[in-house]
Amino acid sequence: MTENQASETPTGVEVDRERGLTLSWADGATAAFGLEELRVNCPCAECRGLRERDLPVWPKPASPQPLRIEDAELIGAWGITLRWNDGHSTGIFSWDLLRQWRAPDAENG
């Protein structure tokens, strides 16, 4: 089940509850992800279903604003789960996925 684990495990994980997530890797790569980007691209089945039907993932009419991270929990060497101030917490952001969001040849800044 875990044969390819940890290939993209970052060496640095920084959670800023008001701003987002910053990762750094041993090869010197870094990537910053804003709160909204993370929330609207939440990889859980529920949010994926909404996106497939072209429905908004966030904000919903009852969503508290501004968006905020209430809590974050590392899932071993695999990824991170975020608990949002709208109560959503089912998405697990794997390091693989986050790294793929930032192509290695993307320009800096």
Residue 10, interface with Zn ion (CB under 5 A)? no
Q: How many residues bind Zn ion (CB under 5 A)?
A: 4
Instruction: Tell me the two tokens of residue 37.
Output: 């980007």
Using alpha carbons, select from 56, 79, 58, 80 the residue that is nearest to residue 68.
Answer: 58
3-state secondary structure of 50: helix
Instruction: Tell me the two tokens of residue 87.
Output: 């109560």
**Which residues in 39-98 contact Zn ion (CB under 5 A)?**
42, 44, 47, 91
If the CB atoms of residues 39 and 99 are measured against Zn ion, the closer one turns out to be 39
If the CB atoms of residues 25 and 59 are measured against Zn ion, the closer one turns out to be 59
Query: What amino acid occupies position 18?
Result: E
- The helix (H) or strand (E) run that includes residue 36 is helix 35-40
CB of 61 to Zn ion, least distance (A): 17
Distance CA 105, CA 109 (A): 12
If the CB atoms of residues 10 and 91 are measured against Zn ion, the closer one turns out to be 91
If the CB atoms of residues 24 and 63 are measured against Zn ion, the closer one turns out to be 63
CB of 97 to Zn ion, least distance (A): 13
CB of 86 to Zn ion, least distance (A): 10
3-state secondary structure of 46: helix
Positions that interact with Zn ion (CB under 5 A): 42, 44, 47, 91
